[in-house]
Amino acid sequence: MYFDLNEAIKIANQAVFAKFCRKLSDIEIIVLKGAWERYAYDQIAAKHQYATSYISQDVAPKLWDLLTDALGERVKKSNFKEALKRSWENKSTSPSYLATPESVTLTTAQENYNLKQELLNPELYIERYPLESLCYETLLQPGSLVRIKAPKFMGKTYLMERVLAKLAKRGYRTVNLSLEMADRKTHLTNLNKFLRWFCLNISRELHLSSQIDKYWDEEGMGAKVSCTTYLEEYLLADADTPFVLCLDHVDALFPYPEVYEDFFGLLRSWYEKARGRQNWKKLRLVIAHSTDVYIRLNINQSPFNIGLPIELPEFTKEQVQVFAKQYGLSGDSSLVDPLMKLVGGHPYLLQQAFSHLKSYPDITLEQLLAEATTDAGIYRHHLREYWLSLQQEPKLMSAFQTVITSSKPVRLETIPAYQLQSMGLVKLAANEVEPRCQLYRSYFGDVIGTQMSVNRL
């Protein structure tokens, strides 16, 4: 097999996932691809319409540090290809990848990789009863629609993947499309371009050739009718089996009224068509978003007031105890209570902690908790990504600073409150907000306080 860019991204993703239980972000992949093509940082920034300083001073250095930790050797722009290729060659040829666990002593990185692969195992998953079965049973019904709301990192992706996998076993055609993948400058400011992107990606996910030009008539029928025709006469007509279309991160459209007003109205019209048209009954819709709907929509054109609403809560203490036991940990109060005091029932943060404790049995819970709110702790990359995002949004940073520095819930303007909720940094308490967990209050209280002190100098 030839080592190319696709293999490099695959190896990088595997290494980062093995070490930190996450994959490369879209912007990190952009930098990796640009560096592979030997572009300078200013060229990468210009091509994708980012500030040069953002790429060269923030994203790129942190990417090389991330790969350094993940690969176990110093990585920088000048040598990342060789480092990834060595990891690729070792994975392909090393006997340790072929031997049984009893015959070799795995390295820490290999143990981490194997552990994270186990996360895909249904035995390492806490079923959201009865929410998961409700989603599944609803999507068996013709023309159904399910709305799932949960902040980032709360497990809605796992939930959707499990439900879609069950439906696929019944022979349903399934597509899971993240609207975050649409280019902001290209697709999200023009309805026609967005709908063509939308249809093209659904076709690709279904392994169908694109027939967009055959069905598209922007001047005559308009973009919405063209998109509807493409769906009805091509995608739905291609097979007799039901088609489940899951749209993730639909709130990525909220800042773009030139697109969302018509697109959300289109989703509502497709749902209405399924009531009386046989072909449309094959369509089942899932709409997933991270925050409450704060945009203005005509009540009769909104897809957010129909179908089955699902909101994912944090894990209960009983669920956390079961989760811990799945990792071979005790699950008693001496483990669960201190950890939940720091991160609550946050699925991703709990998973990180349990994975680390299992991978490093010499590390005690006390040591993990002592470092957790610092840049030396297990959450450092997760927290730094949030910090980077906040630095790019001064108004959001100011709003979050108000939340962090208050000892009780505070009232914010609607949009910043919902944006922070979408990120997963805060939770709503009636009309007020507070930090989602003590980890965020402690870490960001420290870094924001430090920045304020520096700014005064």
Which segments of the chain have a pLDDT < 50? 93-122
- In this prediction, residue 456 carries a pLDDT of 62
415-447 pLDDT, tens digit each: 899 899 989 999 988 889 999 999 999 999 999
Lookup: tokens for 331: 């699950």
| pLDDT value of position 92 | 57
Instruction: Please report the pLDDT score of residue 177 as a whole number.
Output: 93
Nearest to 289 by CA among 146, 120, 150: 150
Euclidean distance between CA atoms 284 and 246, whole angstroms = 8
Q: Can you give the pLDDT at residue 113? A: 38
| pLDDT score, position 127 | 81
72, with CB counted inside 10 A (0-12, 13-18, 19+), is middle
- Predicted TM-score (pTM) of the model is 0.70
Enter the tokens of residue 35. 């560096």
CA 94 – CA 181 distance, rounded (Å): 36
Average pLDDT, the chain: 86
Which pLDDT does position 18 carry in this prediction?
79
Q: What's the pLDDT at 49?
A: 66
Confidence (pLDDT) at 62: 86
Give the residues across from 178 on adjacent strands: 248
Query: DSSP code of 336?
Result: H
Per-residue pLDDT tens for 92-138?
A: 544 433 333 332 233 333 333 343 344 444 456 788 888 999 999 99
pLDDT at 27: 83
The DSSP code for 102 is T
Per-residue model confidence (pLDDT) at position 59: 83
Distances (CA, A) of 10 to 7, 13, 228: 5, 5, 35
**Each residue of 315-343: b (16+ CB within 10 Å) or e?**
beeebbbebbebbebebeeebbeebbebb
What pLDDT sits at residue 91? 67
Phi, psi at 248, each rounded to 5°: -95, 155
Strand order, beta sheet including 173-178: 173-178, 243-248, 283-289, 145-149, 308-311
Contact 267, 301 (CB under 8 A): no
